[in-house]
Chains A and B, each alone.
Chain A
């Protein structure tokens, strides 16, 4: 009879949810000066600076050629993350909905999207659906990324909402609030704090996955590198710089997420 006389402990509990598909999050415990994160980050950053200095041709030329692509990469990433958050919130709420139809719809969306590789989704939206509606390649790229990551975000929202103790909803309802008010005023504000780190992880994963859009000829970082290589045949040099720049960014943001996680741990709220 679990519902009756629930024994529980008073006081605050910090809830952690871990949803990770392998983004690089530095381990807090790894405090040594030569932590893996430091070696990788400063190594990559050092190379990005040193290579152009020591060997301006071709590295400086490559570095000059890439900024457009970096901007495009961030544009795709930021717009996609924005829409995936909106889709994720709706999906997450759908996944906990007591309305069977809405619940099933949200769950099917998550299952289907998570079962199809992002690259295939991208092909599908741009090439397959291109037969019926000719989407701009940027639009198609952002649409594919948003729809795909929306499903993952939905799971983060769902897990976040469900990690809030049941008593919070009960207290809100007992005070006369509607379920919607309880979600809006009590549950979601608490959820936001918990899901910030996993959302940060998704942001990093999306930043990396955004390189896929280069195959529908969006001139992102990877595509620019390829364009440079195609004219100069300096594949090794071009892709080395591309890889290093991705690495610098993802490591930088993963550190940011780790710091954010730590701060949230320390402030009780």
Chain B
């Protein structure tokens, strides 16, 4: 398997705070990698560096043969191929579910409206919301909004999907419907980098789990290794808190 995402020695500072320190991580094509860690450990920041919503202060990030961290590089082209799902969904409130999904394919890729909406319907069906195409985000539950957001990201045919705490803002009864969609994505071979504490999802789908603390990657392993027999003291302490 080829390397899809290659993060090497990435650091990111906000003024005086070093949010990410010298992080290196490789995600192979089709792999699902989960990043866990306490709040403020830099996991979201690292994720956001991958599509350059945050610009890494140093280090390199590659997606296939494209250098994300190249300041002269065409970041828009890279972002087209990197879908992102946010904690707070960030659906566009003035557009219906269907329009939310079809907007970017139309405007960025120039796909004709009818075709883009056709595809959007297929994606809505796939996330189980076929009947909600004319609903506005504020008419949808949190779980439904997040599923629309996943469909919106998929509409660009990304080869990588980034998830930034996709279930943290959801009521408990809605978490499963979102995780189910993510599980089916993983089963289809999507390359996924996920910031989340969902242990069930990790055990079911993750190839690797990465533990971050204070900006550093402390430990990396399979879900079994990391959850059942963590090597590092800090990992153990953290897992005790969340399990």
Contact = CB atoms under 8 A, between A and B. Distances in A.
A10 B145 contact: yes
Contacts of B77: 176
Contact of A167 (B76, B79, B90): B90
B93 A12 contact: yes
A175 B156 contact: yes
Nearest to B169: A10
B103 A176 contact: no
Nearest to B84: A174
Contacts of A172: 92, 104
Interface in B15-63: 17, 19, 39-45, 51, 53-54
B142 A181 contact: no
A190 interface: yes
8 contacts: A3-B45, A3-B54, A5-B39, A167-B90, A170-B53, A172-B104, A175-B79, A190-B93
Nearest to B103: A185
A132 B138 CA distance: 56
B223 interface: no
Contacts of B51: 174
A175 B153 contact: yes
Contacts, number: 107
B165 A5 contact: yes
A11 B142 contact: yes
A268 B45 contact: no
Given A3-B14, A10-B169, A12-B138, A185 B90 contact: no
Please give me the 7 A-B residue pairs with the lowest Cβ-Cβ distance, nearest first: A12-B138, A171-B90, A176-B80, A175-B104, A167-B90, A174-B84, A268-B138
Interface string B93-123: 1100000000110011100000000000000
Contacts of A10: 88-89, 142, 145, 169-170
Interface in A175-223: 175-178, 181, 185-186, 189-190, 193
A269 interface: yes
B76 A168 contact: no
A-side binding surface: helix, strand, loop or mixed? loop
Nearest to B51: A174
Interface string A239-268: 000000000000000000000000000001
Interface of B: 14, 17, 19, 39-45, 51, 53-54, 76-77, 79-80, 82-84, 86-94, 103-104, 107-109, 136-139, 142, 145, 149, 152-153, 156, 165, 168-170
A6 interface: yes
A186 B138 CA distance: 16
Contact of B19 (A1, A9, A174, A176): A1
A173 interface: yes
A173 B53 CA distance: 8
Contact of B107 (A168, A174, A177): A177
Contact of B79 (A12, A165, A173): A173
B94 A174 contact: no
A189 B95 CA distance: 10
A185 B91 CA distance: 13
Interface string A220-245: 00000000000000000000000000
A229 B60 CA distance: 79
A11 B138 contact: yes
A4 interface: yes
A31 interface: no
B94 A170 contact: no
Given A5-B44, A175-B153, A269-B138, A181 B108 contact: yes
A6 to B, nearest CB: 7
B137 A12 contact: yes
Given A10-B169, A168-B92, A174-B53, 13 more contacts: A3-B19, A5-B40, A7-B168, A8-B88, A12-B93, A12-B138, A167-B88, A171-B90, A172-B104, A173-B79, A174-B84, A175-B79, A269-B136
Contacts of B86: 167, 170-171
A98 to B, nearest CB: 13
Contacts of B79: 173-176
Contact of B94 (A11, A171, A269): A269
B90 A1 contact: no
Contacts of B136: 268-269
